[in-house]
């Protein structure tokens, strides 16, 4: 485990302390869980952005292929 020193805004620290009193959880565990949650959120955001970009690329290619198929005369 790594030791990290960080500065927390007074308002965030105060709110966190109030929550910790209610849930009876060590501050260290709470902060670890919060960072883990945020990391998962960020990974989801990265994936969403990547999928949107790739979807747009596939859409453009699909439209091109569709136009090609529309130009084929099947009655031949």
Distance CA 22, CA 16 (A): 10
Say if 65 falls within a structural domain.
Answer: yes
Please give the model's pTM, rounded to 2 decimal places: 0.68
Total domain count, the chain: 1
75, part of any domain: no
Cα(30)–Cα(42) distance, integer angstroms: 18
Helices 27-70 and 10-23, axial angle in degrees (round to 10): 100
Q: What is the pLDDT of residue 23?
A: 97
Tokens of 38: 């945020």
Distance of CA 76 to the CA centre of its chain: 51
- Domain assignment present for residue 76? The answer is no
Which pLDDT score, from 0 to 100, does residue 61 have?
81
Q: How many CB atoms lie within 10 A of CB 65?
A: 9
42 within a domain of the structure (yes/no) = yes
pLDDT at position 76 over 70: no
**Domain range enclosing 54:** 10-70
pLDDT for 2-56, tens place per residue? 999 999 999 999 999 999 999 999 999 999 999 999 999 999 999 999 999 888 8
């Amino acid at each position: 485990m790594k030791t990290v020193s960080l500065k927390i805004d007074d308002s965030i620290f105060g709110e966190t302390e109030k929550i910790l009193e209610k849930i009876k959880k060590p501050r260290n565990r709470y902060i670890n869980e919060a960072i883990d949650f945020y990391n998962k959120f960020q990974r989801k955001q990265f994936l969403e952005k990547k999928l949107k970009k790739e979807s747009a690329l596939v859409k453009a290619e699909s439209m091109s292929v569709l136009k090609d198929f529309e130009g084929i005369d099947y009655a031949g």
